[in-house]
């Protein structure tokens, strides 16, 4: 009787093992696809934050104007801009967790690039 019960449960263990292997393979394939996508996208979207060669539009003239300021004024403008962005980011906390994290991602993506351009950093 014991062998009959074991033979009934054996196929399920085999299926569970294949399911776990498929999940693990799927995760590794997704990770590999993400790395390949980053490898393709990152070199083509690099910005020159000193010469502003990759930035087009109305922001170019504003960043060029800020680049001509003295280092002390640049630091002051960068600090005030960062404080204003942080205050608006703290206001996002009242809208819910999802909107807070979306605002945090936007703040990180936009704020750090602009602050780097103001300070003359090369990334």
Q: pLDDT per residue over 46-76, tens digit each?
A: 666 666 666 677 777 777 777 777 777 777 7
Dihedral of CA 83/88/91/92: which sign?
negative
Number of domains in the chain: 2
Do 101 and 67 share a structural domain?
yes
Q: Give the single-character DSSP code of 50.
A: T
Q: 15 lies in a domain?
A: yes
The pTM for the full model equals 0.38
The two structure tokens encoding residue 118: 């103001």
Domain that holds residue 39: 1-45
H or E segment at 112? helix 112-119
Do 62 and 30 share a structural domain?
no
User: 48 phi and psi, to 5 degrees?
Assistant: -95, 105
Check if the beta carbon of residue 113 is closer than 8 Å to that of residue 121: no
Which pLDDT score, from 0 to 100, does residue 123 have? 44
């Amino acid at each position: 009787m014991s062998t009959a019960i074991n033979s009934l449960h054996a196929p399920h263990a085999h299926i569970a093992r294949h399911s776990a292997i498929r999940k693990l393979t799927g995760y590794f394939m997704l990770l590999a696809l993400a790395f390949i996508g980053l490898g393709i996208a990152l070199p083509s979207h690099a910005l020159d934050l000193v010469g502003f060669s990759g930035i087009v539009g109305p922001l170019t003239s504003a960043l060029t104007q800020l680049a001509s300021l003295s280092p002390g004024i640049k630091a002051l403008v960068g600090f005030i801009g960062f404080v204003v962005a942080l205050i608006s980011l703290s206001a996002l906390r009242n809208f819910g967790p999802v909107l807070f994290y979306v605002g945090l991602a936007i703040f990180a993506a936009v704020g750090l690039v602009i602050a780097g351009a103001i300070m003359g950093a090369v990334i």
